[in-house]
Amino acid sequence: MKLLKTMVRMIGCDSVGFTTGEEACAWCRDNKPGLVLCDIMLPGMNGSEVLRQLRTIEHLRDVPIVAVTAVAMEGDKERLLEEGFDEYIAKPLNFSSFQSTVKNLIRA
C-alpha cells in the first residue's frame, strides 16, 4: 500500500489508504474519491465484494474503480472488467503505465 500511495502522490494526487475492504467502504460512504484503487486480495471482503458494495452507493456510481492484483492469472483482467472494474493493474507496478491509467481515468 505504501508504494501505491507514493505513486499516487508522485502524479500529483492525494490518497487515503485502508487495510480492509470494510474500512474502505465505510470511508467511501461519507466521501467521494476521484478514483478507487482496490486490491483484489484483501482480508475479510475481497476486492470484488468491495466493488459490489461501492457500486450500491449512489454518489460512487460514476467513480472509476481499478482492480489491483499481485496474483495475475490468465483471464483475470477480462473477468474483473466484466465484474465492473473500470481498469486492471497487475503488480509489480510499472510507474509510467500506472500514471497513464490513473490520469486517463481521472480525466474521464
Which CATH number goes with the domain that contains 19?
Answer: 3.40.50.2300
Q: Which domain holds residue 10?
A: 2-107
Please spell the DSSP secondary structure of 33-78, one letter per residue.
-S-EEEESS-SSS-HHHHHHHHHTSGGGTTS-EEEEESS--TTHHH
Closest CA to 39 of 7, 6, 75, 85: 85
Model pLDDT, residue 70 = 86
Main-chain dihedrals φ then ψ at residue 65, nearest 5 degrees: -125, 125
What's 93's DSSP letter?
P
Q: What integer is the mean pLDDT of 54-64?
A: 96
pTM: 0.91
- Is 73's pLDDT higher than 80? no
Closest CA to 7 of 47, 66, 48: 66
Q: How many domains does the chain have?
A: 1
- Is 97's pLDDT higher than 90? yes
**Could you report how far apart the first and last alpha carbons of the chain are, in Å?**
25
Residue pair 61/53 in contact by the 8 Å Cβ criterion: no
pLDDT confidence band for 1 (50 / 70 / 90)? confident
Model pLDDT, residue 2 = 84
Model pLDDT for residues 9-55, shown as the tens digit of each residue: 999 999 999 999 999 999 999 999 999 999 999 888 999 999 999 99
Residue pair 36/61 in contact by the 8 Å Cβ criterion: no
Average pLDDT, the chain: 93
Model pLDDT, residue 107 = 80
Model pLDDT, residue 96 = 94
